[in-house]
């Protein structure tokens, strides 16, 4: 019996809900359900009773939950003690945390690191796309998160992880806020407050090219976390962002035709000897995260 099905079972048994457990484990609900059914077939009995409100454990499932927790803890201690006896340092992955990235991506990478290399530790270093490349080059991080398009140096490789639709951010009192959808023509002549070009030059240029020449670029630029504050000062202006940026005083509106998208990728040095990174990038590598995002 492999450890991964046990981790999946423990997740469902603790959440008592397939959807919540799937979110916690960063896999799709159908995949999780298939894994549990396969485990039940392997053991030869039902472990969970499924009903409309969620699930409950059978007597056999209650026993397995106790033993599975003990097994997973023992496996972790075995690896940790073996590495200590060999004089090896605790495995650490230094992950670059991109400003404004969807929270599920770094969380999924941390989960993958733990699955591929139990008892590894993930530390975070925040920065822009440009910062990520600099930190990789300086050996300050092992794995970075960036926005593409992006031209990479020969020593760095990448894996696309997710796409996110970009729409228009406006104050709730803006004249265009009442429209359920906007067009590029609606934005003609309006002031665009956007991120500094230095943060991600190619992503910046690609976005400006797609939105067209009809908008007026603002004399101020802000990081993703500051765009809301800037819009509340310049209430006639607009910005670009994901649905996640909407608040009670800032509305998000889609653009007709969905012409704008943010694409996120993981980047790392091909000559890295970090054992956690190597475990994460071995086939099928980081593609499992993109597959999970698409499936969910």
Q: Is the bond preceding residue 284 a cis peptide, omega within 30 degrees? A: yes
> How long, in residues, is the chain?
296
Listed in sequence order, the residues at least 6 apart from 34 whose beta carbon sits closer than 8 Å to its beta carbon are none
pLDDT at 75: 80
Residues 239 and 231: their CA atoms lie apart, in Å, by: 8
Q: What are the structure tokens assigned to 204, written together?
A: 């910046």
Q: Tell me the per-residue pLDDT of 203-216, one tens digit each, with 9 for 90 and over.
A: 999 999 999 889 99
pLDDT higher than threshold 60 for residue 199:
yes
Strand 239-241, strand 250-253: pairing: unpaired
Angstrom distance (rounded) from CA 170 to CA 147: 23
Which pLDDT does position 294 carry in this prediction? Answer: 44
Bridge partners of residue 25, in order along the sequence: none
Nearest partner of 262 among 247, 248, 245, judged by Cα: 245
- Dist CA 162 CA 105 (whole Å): 8
Q: Is the pLDDT of residue 48 over 70?
A: yes
Question: Would you place residue 30 in the very low, low, confident or very high pLDDT band (cuts 50, 70, 90)?
Answer: confident
Distance between CA 25 and CA 111 in Å, rounded?
A: 7
pLDDT grade for 163, boundaries at 50, 70 and 90: very high
**CA-based end-to-end distance of the chain:** 27
Using DSSP's 3-state secondary structure scheme, residue 200 falls into: coil
Residue 149 has pLDDT above 70, yes or no: yes
Q: Within its chain, how far is the Cα of 14 from the centroid? A: 23
pLDDT in tens, 242-292: 998 999 999 999 999 999 999 999 999 998 989 999 999 887 778 877 755
Show the CA angle centred on residue 151, arms to residues 169 and 154, nearest 5°.
150
pLDDT digits (tens, 9 = 90+) for 113-140: 988 888 788 999 888 999 999 999 888 9
**Predicted local distance difference test score (pLDDT) of residue 28:** 76
Instruction: Please report the pLDDT score of residue 41 as a whole number.
Output: 93
Question: For residue 185, what is the DSSP state?
Answer: G
Find all residues with CB under 8 Å of 105, minimum gap 6, and list them.
145, 161, 162, 264, 289, 293
Claim: this prediction has a pTM higher than 0.75: no
**SS3 (DSSP) at 128:** coil
Of the two residues 238 and 72, the one the predictor is more confident about is: 238
The mean pLDDT of the chain is 89
Tell me whether strands 121-127 and 191-194 are parallel, antiparallel or unpaired: unpaired
Residue linked to tokens 């940026």: 245
Are 140 and 125 spatial neighbours (Cβ–Cβ below 8 Å)? yes
């Amino acid at each position: 019996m492999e450890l991964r099905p046990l981790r999946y079972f423990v997740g469902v048994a603790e959440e008592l809900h397939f959807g919540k457990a799937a979110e916690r484990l960063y896999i799709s609900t159908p995949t999780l359900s298939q894994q549990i059914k396969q485990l039940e077939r392997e053991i030869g009995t039902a472990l969970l009773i499924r009903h409309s409100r969620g699930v409950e454990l059978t007597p056999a499932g209650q026993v397995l939950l106790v033993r599975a927790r003990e097994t997973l803890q023992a496996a972790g201690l075995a690896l940790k003690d073996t590495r200590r006896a060999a004089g090896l340092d605790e495995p650490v992955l230094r992950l670059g945390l991109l400003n404004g990235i969807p929270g599920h991506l770094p969380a999924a990478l941390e989960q993958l690191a733990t699955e591929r290399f139990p008892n590894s530790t993930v530390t975070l270093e925040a920065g822009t796309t440009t910062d990520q490349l600099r930190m990789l080059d300086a050996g300050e991080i092992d794995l970075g998160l960036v926005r593409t398009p992006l031209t990479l140096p020969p020593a760095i490789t990448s894996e696309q992880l997710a796409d996110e639709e970009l729409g228009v951010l406006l104050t709730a009192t803006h004249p265009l806020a009442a429209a359920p959808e906007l067009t590029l023509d609606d934005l003609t002549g309006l002031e665009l407050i956007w991120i500094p070009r230095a943060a991600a030059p190619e992503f910046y240029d690609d976005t400006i090219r797609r939105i067209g020449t009809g908008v007026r670029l603002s004399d101020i630029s802000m990081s993703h976390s500051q765009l809301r504050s800037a819009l509340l000062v310049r209430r006639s202006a607009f910005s670009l962002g994901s649905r996640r940026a909407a608040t009670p005083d800032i509305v998000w509106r889609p653009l007709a035709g969905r012409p704008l998208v943010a694409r996120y990728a993981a980047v790392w040095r091909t000559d890295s000897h970090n054992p956690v990174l190597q475990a994460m990038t071995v086939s099928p590598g980081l593609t499992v995260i993109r597959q999970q995002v698409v499936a969910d």
